[in-house]
Chain A
């Protein structure tokens, strides 16, 4: 499997290049943090909000944009289509797990995403040069580890909803509901620090924060060392839960596929 991975990544990148127009649109549709940045920037002009000034606000959303892209996955659409059209069958007859193939496919588009995203980041830094900060090494290291877990949770969540296509025509609809909740609860539209206290408490017990706000806050240096480990530990727990659920949904789905065909 490991021997095949470089080829999978190379072909995944070639596919991403072939779909570059689509990818540009995808990247641009996921720029909500930029819009949020402009809105919250205006709000913070009046004075700090919840202790956050314009600088913190802009830095948060710039990092939210970056983390959103380095942790993004689209396996839910791939799975849905492959299951519905029967194209999953040839994949099941290769001596490599189809999900390994999808992992490589999702990871391999990262360099191209970075190229598309780079001008946006440069533009924001040109607009707000004070955003360039010197983070402490541990926040970068832990932030990156946290981003890996965030990606694992996001990918597993998409595998869960994608695998529901084995059972239902409505799997993408269900994923959209999940995505709506995720947008509200992950820190994608607003920093969770600024949410009312009761909502913050609720969100602490939900998985959404672990997929975005945790790495963003860590990278932005907004979390103290002692809290940081707790947040990453929560990510590990959610990753285990989501990967477990993804494996279960996938296996049950394939069993059904074997029983009723494509």
Chain B
């Protein structure tokens, strides 16, 4: 559904010196520097996949999404989305995709959301009966009924984002580019948006490429992640393998009835408990070993926090 090959984007940014002298000098000699936002990026995504697109601030995530949606032209490289070259912004292509940007809203600010829905139905030339059915489905899934007739400016951020998602999906696109769809939302709204995205993906079979700084979004939604840093690919694969490869393994914590020894097989004593960090494959054997060697009061196996895994990955080679 999405095919990206050796994609590059280089921005030319004006350079300006500090202070008054710097400002004056920039009038006469305009210095520019090239910033490589995306570097030789290649990946492909199958129809119906939900993929998390991760990276630190300025990694090139939004630039990549904009190139895939056709808002930005790459400096070089190829990308094909739903069989189209996005640069042309062919109406047939625009009917098959949607881009939701957390901070750039398409809702009509002073009118109720129902008016934006009517506008989008008209702009996309949707068949009225089918569009109404989709609209009703979205209203029910996102629980929008009480919000439909209130001016958008009177809605909370979370309510607006839910309406934004509905407006963006009325034309039932096959590809969803979601750029920080939960940014600034409270925990309840985040959960609602997350649940909706998963359910919509299952119902419609749409492909989802999602960026988020909230790891809970990624953990809940994306079996596969693509990680970029400095515009270049750092990791592309299953989320669970990411933790395995970069998280230093799972943490097994054994609390004993009596005082724990300093070391025990793969375990060392930390804060009075026996702790071992192990690859998944070795966890069962270690637990079995501990159960046989000491009187166990409590036992836990923890996944490394995704935030830690990613920090480690971002720090590597950047």
Give the B-binding residues of A (Cβ under 8 A).
Answer: 3-4, 7-8, 11, 14-15, 18-19, 85-87, 89-96, 101, 257-262
Could you say which of A14, A89, A95 contacts B71, with CB atoms under 8 Å apart? Answer: A89
CA distance A91 to B108 in the complex (A): 12
B43 contacts the other chain (CB 8 A): no
CA distance A95 to B124 in the complex (A): 6
Least CB distance, B123 to chain A, in whole angstroms: 5
Q: Is the CB of A11 within 8 A of B104?
A: no
Q: Mark B116-158, 1 if CB is under 8 A from A, else 0.
A: 0011111111000000000000000000000000010000000
Grouping DSSP codes into helix (H, G, I), strand (E, B) and loop, the A interface class, with mixed when no group exceeds half, is helix
Residues of A within 8 A of B111 (CB): 11, 14-15, 18
Q: Is the CB of A260 within 8 A of B11?
A: yes
Grouping DSSP codes into helix (H, G, I), strand (E, B) and loop, the B interface class, with mixed when no group exceeds half, is mixed
Residues of A within 8 A of B120 (CB): 94
Residues of A within 8 A of B97 (CB): 93
Could you say which of B91, B95, B122 contacts A7, with CB atoms under 8 Å apart? Answer: B122
Q: Is the CB of B125 within 8 A of A95?
A: yes
Residues of A within 8 A of B119 (CB): 7-8, 11
Least CB distance, B296 to chain A, in whole angstroms: 57
Residues of A within 8 A of B12 (CB): 260
B46 contacts the other chain (CB 8 A): no
Query: A258's closest neighbor in chain B, by CB?
Result: B73
Q: Is the CB of B108 within 8 A of A94?
A: no
Q: Is the CB of B71 within 8 A of A258?
A: yes
CA distance A259 to B115 in the complex (A): 32
Beyond the given pairs A8-B122, A89-B71, A262-B71, 7 more chain A to chain B contacts, judged by CB atoms under 8 angstroms and listed by A's residue number, are A18-B151, A89-B104, A92-B70, A93-B69, A258-B73, A259-B72, A261-B11
B242 contacts the other chain (CB 8 A): no
Residues of B within 8 A of A91 (CB): 106
B26 contacts the other chain (CB 8 A): no
Known contacts A8-B119, A11-B118, A261-B71; is-contact A94 B63 (Cβ 8 Å):
no
Query: B93's closest neighbor in chain A, by CB?
Result: A95
Q: Is the CB of A93 within 8 A of B122?
A: no
Is the interface on chain B under 10, 10 to 19, 20 to 34, or 35 or more residues?
20 to 34
Residues of A within 8 A of B124 (CB): 94-95
Residues of A within 8 A of B104 (CB): 85-87, 89-90
CA distance A175 to B217 in the complex (A): 46
Could you say which of B91, B99, B108 contacts A95, with CB atoms under 8 Å apart? Answer: B91
Residues of B within 8 A of A95 (CB): 91, 94-95, 123-125
B110 contacts the other chain (CB 8 A): yes
Least CB distance, A4 to chain B, in whole angstroms: 4
Least CB distance, B90 to chain A, in whole angstroms: 9
22 contacts between A and B (CB under 8 A): A7-B121, A11-B111, A11-B115, A14-B111, A15-B110, A18-B110, A19-B110, A89-B66, A89-B71, A92-B70, A92-B71, A93-B70, A93-B98, A95-B94, A95-B123, A95-B124, A96-B123, A258-B72, A260-B12, A261-B11, A261-B72, A262-B71
B87 contacts the other chain (CB 8 A): yes
CA distance A203 to B124 in the complex (A): 44
Least CB distance, B48 to chain A, in whole angstroms: 22
Query: A94's closest neighbor in chain B, by CB?
Result: B123
CA distance A15 to B119 in the complex (A): 12
5 closest cross-chain pairs (CB), A and B? A95-B91, A7-B122, A90-B106, A4-B122, A18-B110
Least CB distance, A129 to chain B, in whole angstroms: 40
CA distance A91 to B105 in the complex (A): 10
B245 contacts the other chain (CB 8 A): no
Known contacts A7-B118, A8-B119, A87-B105; is-contact A93 B11 (Cβ 8 Å):
no
Q: Is the CB of B99 within 8 A of A93?
A: yes
CA distance A8 to B122 in the complex (A): 8
Q: Is the CB of B125 within 8 A of A3?
A: yes
Could you say which of B11, B87, B95, B105 contacts A258, with CB atoms under 8 Å apart? Answer: B87
CA distance A93 to B115 in the complex (A): 18
B89 contacts the other chain (CB 8 A): yes
B178 contacts the other chain (CB 8 A): no
Residues of A within 8 A of B91 (CB): 95
Residues of A within 8 A of B99 (CB): 89-90, 93
Least CB distance, A91 to chain B, in whole angstroms: 8
Query: A7's closest neighbor in chain B, by CB?
Result: B122
Residues of A within 8 A of B95 (CB): 95
B101 contacts the other chain (CB 8 A): yes
Query: B11's closest neighbor in chain A, by CB?
Result: A260
